[in-house]
């Protein structure tokens, strides 16, 4: 093999292995001290991507759990106030029943009862206006999201030039929007009530005549009497008892275009053959709790708390100073008690739902945390084995490097 001093290959080999061992020992120390198997993307690129996604879910679910717990607090706050509202209503009913007994209650006693009723109603309003969670008032009808729906009518597309536009008309009023700058906007055409009736023979012709007369009258100031380029034709379609009037407009001017739109007085629901689209409008504040880590509606729970003030409960007219109003008073109070009872029942159901949600979120968080841990966390026992191995190799490698460095010194023996 020979002895060389310029290139100590044995020392280079020992140094290379020692460097590798040092890297392994450094990684083991980092993992053991941090508790993480993945401390940088280079440790496990795919594992980092998966674990970060899981960590995001876990953090979102932990906050969602807090939100659900806040939901329980909100419900308990509102329901606690309604407990006193119930007690007040029961007392008002008691006074109404007492005042209804003319044999035992005279006018002074009814007046005294009315004084108490006035104060109790004032307290109902005070409770409703001052019960808050944070800065959100809860019992005055402003808490929660109210969902109202409306049918929005979509007009047919504008007709091509020179063609008729057929619509279905089941109302008495509509706008004609003609594509002619000389008209200066929509033209309102009103057909008198009773002009047509699907069940009456000849009604379609009567409608056609009335509609043409209305068109001539509305457009005459622009085109001149007898020169209006529009005409209408009405036909009836559909089975008996479910007929529809199809109104077709045409123009003698090939360049004319026109569309039809509803007027403010049109009934909702497919009048004039327009496509009806139901839309929802959300109003109010608060009431929506984010109880999931996603963005879909299933990750939210919405609560709406009704107005629990005197006027909303229809108690404004309750007056026990007169025995003649006893029946209506008791009926109104019973209805108010039912309203409050229903709301309390709903709030109790929401509280149970929130508690189930919290339990589910806790289990999901636990399982996702375990999944993330399996990917990202250090297996301390396994890593300690690797550390011990690297430590022994480091010590051995250091010793062997020293031996390799000493080998070239044997050349000095040859020089003696």
User: Distance from CA of residue 3 to its chain's centroid?
Assistant: 82
DSSP codes, 367-384: HHHHHHHHHHB--HHHHH
CA distance 402 to 10: 10
Three-state SS string across 6-60, please? CCCHHHHHHHHHHHHHHHHHHHHHHHHHHCECCCCHHHCHHHHHHHHHHHHHHHH
Name the residue among 114, 152, 112, 144 with its Cα closest to residue 276.
152
Q: Which residues are paired to 280 by β-bridges?
A: 149
User: Distance from CA of residue 365 to its chain's centroid?
Assistant: 23
Three-state SS string across 213-282, please? HHHHHHHHHHHCCCCCCEEEEEEEECCCCCCEEEEEEEECCCCCCEEEECCCCCCCCCHHHCEEEEEEEE
Burial of 232 per CB tally in 10 Å (0-12, 13-18, 19+): buried
The answer to whether 93 and 318 have CB atoms below 8 angstroms apart is no
- pLDDT tens per residue, the chain (416 residues)? 566 667 778 888 888 888 888 888 888 887 887 778 888 787 788 888 888 888 888 898 899 999 999 999 999 999 999 999 999 999 999 988 888 887 777 788 888 888 999 999 999 999 999 999 888 888 888 887 555 554 444 444 555 544 444 444 444 455 555 555 445 455 566 666 556 565 666 766 777 787 778 777 777 777 777 777 677 776 666 555 455 556 666 666 555 555 554 443 333 223 333 344 455 555 555 678 888 877 777 888 888 888 899 988 989 888 888 877 777 888 899 999 999 999 999 999 999 999 999 999 999 888 988 888 888 888 788 878 888 888 888 888 888 888 888 777 777 777 76
Annotate 109-121 with b (16+ C-beta within 10 A) or e (fewer).
ebeebbeebeebb
CA distance 354 to 366: 18
Residues belonging to the chain: 416
H/E run at residue 344: helix 326-376
Domain ranges of the chain: 50-140+303-370, 151-281
Measured CA to CA in angstroms, residue 232 lies from 237, 277, 337, 389, 400 at distances of 16, 27, 58, 97, 108
Cβ contacts of residue 163 below 8 Å, gap of 6+?
A: 250
Question: CATH: 3.30.450.40, 1.20.1330.10, 3.40.50.300, 3.30.420.40. Which one for 50-140+303-370?
Answer: 1.20.1330.10
Structure tokens at 99: 């005042």
The answer to whether 73 and 133 have CB atoms below 8 angstroms apart is yes
Q: Which residues are paired to 186 by β-bridges?
A: none
């Amino acid at each position: 093999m020979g002895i060389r001093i310029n290139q100590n290959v044995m020392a280079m080999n020992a140094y290379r292995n020692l460097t590798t061992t040092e890297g392994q020992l450094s990684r083991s120390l980092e993992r053991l001290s941090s508790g993480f198997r993945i401390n940088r993307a280079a440790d496990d690129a795919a594992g980092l991507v998966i674990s970060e996604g899981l960590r995001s879910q876990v953090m979102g679910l932990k906050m969602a759990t807090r939100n659900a717990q806040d939901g329980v607090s909100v419900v308990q706050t509102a329901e606690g106030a309604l407990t006193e509202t119930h007690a007040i209503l029961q007392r008002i009913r008691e006074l109404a029943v007492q005042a209804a007994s003319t044999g035992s209650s005279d006018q002074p006693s009814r007046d005294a009862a009315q004084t108490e009723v006035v104060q109790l109603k004032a307290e109902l309003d005070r409770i409703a206006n001052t019960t808050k969670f944070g800065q959100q008032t809860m019992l005055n009808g402003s808490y929660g999201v109210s969902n109202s729906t409306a049918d929005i009518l979509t007009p047919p597309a504008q007709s091509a030039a020179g063609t008729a536009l057929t619509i279905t008309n089941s109302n008495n009023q509509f706008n004609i929007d003609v594509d002619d700058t000389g008209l200066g906007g929509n033209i309102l055409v009103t057909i008198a009530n009773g002009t047509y009736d699907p069940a009456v023979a000849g009604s379609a012709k009567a409608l056609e005549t009335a509609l043409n007369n209305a068109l001539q009258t509305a457009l005459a100031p622009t085109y001149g009497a007898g020169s209006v380029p529009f005409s209408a034709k009405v036909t009836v379609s559909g089975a008996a008892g479910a007929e529809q009037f199809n109104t077709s407009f045409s123009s003698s001017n090939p360049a004319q275009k026109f569309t039809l739109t509803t007027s403010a007085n049109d009934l909702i629901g497919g009048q004039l053959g327009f496509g009806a689209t139901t839309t929802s409008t959300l109003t109010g504040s608060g009431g929506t709790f984010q109880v999931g880590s996603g963005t879909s509606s299933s990750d939210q729970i919405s609560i709406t708390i009704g107005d629990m003030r005197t006027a909303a409960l229809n108690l404004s007219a309750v007056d026990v100073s007169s025995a003649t109003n006893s029946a209506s008073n008791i009926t109104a109070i019973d209805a108010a008690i039912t309203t409050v009872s229903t709301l309390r029942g709903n709030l109790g159901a929401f509280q149970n739902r929130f508690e189930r949600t919290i339990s589910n979120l806790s289990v999901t968080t636990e399982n996702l945390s375990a999944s993330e841990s399996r990917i990202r966390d250090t297996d301390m026992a396994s890593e300690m084995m690797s550390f011990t191995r690297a430590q022994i190799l480091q010590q051995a490698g250091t010793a062997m490097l020293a031996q390799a460095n000493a080998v070239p010194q044997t050349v000095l023996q040859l020089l003696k």
